[in-house]
Structure 1
Amino acid sequence: MGILGEGLNAAVERAFTRPIPKSAPAQMRYLVRQEKGTRAVAQLLGISQRTVERYVKGQIVRPRPDLGERLADAVRQRWQPRVRERAKRQAATTDGLVIHTRARFGYTAAPGTTDDARVRHLTLALPPEYARRFFDAQAAGATERQLRNIAAEGLQEIYFQDHGRRAQGLQVEFTDIDYVEFDL
C-alpha cells in the first residue's frame, strides 16, 4: 500500500472510539473472537495453532518483531468495522475530507503560461464526491497511481480551477509527494 492508501487508512483510524488492544495476548484474543477460532488465526498469521493458543493463555507475551507487526496490522484492519464504515459513509455523503500535502505540482496549460512544476504545501477541503471516489477505489483495490490521479483531479478542481471559475483546460500533475495526510 502506498502513501495515499496509508493516509486514508490513518484518517479512518482516527475515528475509532476505543483504543486498539496493546498487548500481544489481548490482540490475539481479539483475533480469535473475530475469526471464530485459533486455526483461522494461525493461518492468517502464518504460525501454528498451538502458538496462537499459547498467546491466548498468556504463556507467550512478546512476539517476534515480524509476527508483532503482522498481528498489529491484522487487528488494526478488523478493529471497529462499524465505526470505520460510519466515518467513511459520513465523509462520502456530507463532510468530505481534508487533504494536507506537500508535493510537486506541474500542469499543462494554455500557451504563454508557465507550466514549470514546483513544490507546494496545500491544505484543502475536498467535497464528499472525492471522498466517495477515494474510498470506492480503495475498496476495489486501486493502485497508488489511481489514488494519486483522484487526488490530482480534486486538487485541480478545487485549488487550481476554483470550482471551474478559472484556468479552464488545466491538467494538474501530482508528483514527488513529500507527505500527504487526510482528515475526515
Structure 2
Amino acid sequence: MVDSLADSLDRALEGAFTRRIPQSAQAQMKYLVKQLKGTRAAAQVLGVSQRTVERYVKGQLKRPRQDLRGRLEREVRKRWQPQVRARARKKAASTDGLVVSTRARFGFEAAGGTTDDARVRDITQALPPQWADRLFTAREQGADEQQLHRIAADGLAQMYFRANDSRAHGLGVEFTDVERLDIEL
C-alpha cells in the first residue's frame, strides 16, 4: 500500500525532530496523558479503557498489543515537538520549499492529435516555497488526499513539465496511479 501524501508531509516534518520520541509504552503513554491533560482523553483517542491507560502509566502493563502499539506511537508522533515541527513547516513554506519524489502515472491534456498518453514516470523535483505552503495549508485545513494530489500535480506540472512556465504553456497534467511518493524538506 502506498502512503498518503498527508503521511509523507508528516514524515517530512518528523525529519526535523531534534530528539527521538519516547520508546517504551509507559513513556509514550505518560507523554500522551500529559499532552491530552488526562487519562480519560488519552483513552478516548486510543480506543481503550481509562483503566488500561492508568495501568500503562503506572508500569503495570508493559507490552501493548500490536494495534494499540501502532495507535500509541502514531498519536505520540503527531504531538511530538510541535514547535520544531512548526519551525520546519515555516522554513519550507517561506525559504526552502520541498522535494517531491514520486513514481506515478502522468498524462497530459493537450491539443488533439498529440501523443500525450499517460505513462509511469519516476520524478524527483524541488518545489518552491509557495507550493510547500499550499500543501501544508491544505493539510492543516483538512484537505482530502485527492485535493493534496491536485496541488502536488499542479506544482509538478509547473516546475517539471512546464519548466517554471517557460515552456508548454497551458499544459494540464494528470497525476494518477501513485506507486511511491516521498516528500523531503
Q: TM-score, normalised by structure 1?
A: 0.96
**CA deviations over 1:101-143 (Å, ceiling 9, x no partner):** 1111000112343111111111110000000000010011111
The residue aligned with 1:144 is 145
The Cα shift of 1:68 comes to 1.2
Find the counterpart in structure 2 of residue 128 from structure 1.
129
Unaligned runs of 5+ in 1: none
Paired residue type of 2:29: M
Name the Cα RMSD after superposition.
1.4
Q: Which runs of 4+ in 1 moved over 3 A?
A: none
Q: Which residue of 2 aligns with 1:104?
A: 105
Alignment-derived partner of residue 168 in structure 1: 169
Task: State the partner residue of 1:154.
Answer: 155
Deviations 1:38-57 (A, max 9, x none): 22212222222221111111
Could you give the per-residue CA deviations for residues 20-76 of structure 1, whole angstroms, max 9, x where no partner exists? Answer: 111111100111111122222122222222211111111100111221111111101
Number of the residue aligned with 1:9: 10
Deviation at 1:2, TM superposition (A): 5.7
Q: Could you say which residue in structure 1 is the equivalent of 2:34?
A: 33
Contact 2:98–2:184 (Cα < 8 Å) also in 1 = yes
- Identity between Structure 1 and Structure 2 (%): 61
SS of the residue 1:153 aligns to: helix
Paired position in structure 2 for 1:91: 92
Residues of 2 paired with 1:43 and 1:109: CA distance? Answer: 51
Unaligned 5+ segments in structure 2 are none
Task: Look up the SS of the partner of 1:84 in the other structure.
Answer: helix
Give the TM-score normalised by the residue count of structure 2.
Answer: 0.95
Q: CA deviation at 1:173?
A: 0.3
| SS of 1:62 mapped into structure 2 | coil
Q: Aligned partners of 2:165 and 2:102: how far apart in 1?
A: 22
Is this contact kept in 1: 2:105–2:176, CA < 8 A?
yes
How many residues in Structure 1 have an aligned counterpart in Structure 2?
184
Take 1:72 and 1:21, find their aligned partners in 2: how far apart are those partners?
A: 9
Amino acid paired to 1:97: L
